[in-house]
Structure 1
């Protein structure tokens, strides 16, 4: 008579109690849960880095906007009235900084849209684990 287990495992399987089997399953599930948490942490860290870079771009847009106001004031006082009227010189400088601010803002806003706070890979693996637990034979 052949057993479904190799000879060295059949004795062990017969000696293993239900309590030990449940304990082993519990340990395996605990380890699986810890691994899923670590994966979630890694994904969240990656998304936080992307959000930080996008926030930096938005900060750059704010700084460029500040410079537009500052240069508009300075241009109004020290305008290039030798080349053109002071008002036109101030308007040109302010327009350039306004364009820079707009480009930085749009770029930062678009990058911020790509940030995904949901740890997708972790969710997928948890779904796979749950499916396996429901049907461990495949």
Structure 2
């Protein structure tokens, strides 16, 4: 009789330790919600850097354009007339001034392009997002087959 009491208490213990379907669904929902929140946070962190680099590069282009217009209008006449004081024909003087400003504009564009090149995709977010379907199927992420 003692063995039948022990076996019935073992069966009751097994049923108590077994999670219910409702609990499994709640746990899966909580885990999926946490995963999505972490993915969004990672994407925000990666995009924040790229947006800053893009804005700075764009700002450099705008400043270069504004300065180019101001310089061409206001200083080109002064430099050209200064060159004519050396005995140079005014046409040549204005051509030299225009070439100098073109060189300055090219340098500013090169600096702007270097800043724009620092924009990058959120690589870590993309990589972890690719692992979500496998994780939902219960598979553990492994090395990528290449």
- TM-score when normalising by structure 2: 0.71
Quote the residue 2:107 is aligned against: 103
Number of the residue aligned with 1:54: 57
Distance 2:88 2:33 in 1: 75
Distance 1:13 1:100, change over 3 A: farther
Paired residues of 1:80 and 1:89 also in contact (CA < 8 A):
yes
**How many residues are treated as equivalent by the alignment?**
126
Give the equivalent residue in structure 2 for 1:30.
33
**TM-score relative to the length of structure 1:** 0.74
Structure 1: state its 5+ residue gaps. 1-9
Q: Out of 77, 87, 90, which is 1:73 matched to?
A: 77
The verdict on how the C-alpha distance between 1:122 and 1:12 changes in structure 2, with shifts beyond 3 A counting, is farther
User: 4+ residue stretches of structure 1 with deviation over 4 A?
Assistant: none
**What is the Cα deviation at residue 46 of structure 1?**
0.9
Unaligned runs of at least 5 residues, structure 2:
1-13, 142-146
**Which is greater in Rg?**
2
Taking structure 1 as reference, are residues 84 and 134 closer, same or farther at Cα in structure 2, changes over 3 Å only? farther
Q: RMSD value over aligned CA atoms?
A: 2.5
Inter-partner Cα distance in structure 1 for 2:87 and 2:55: 43
* Kept in 2: contact 1:54–1:112 (CA 8 A): yes
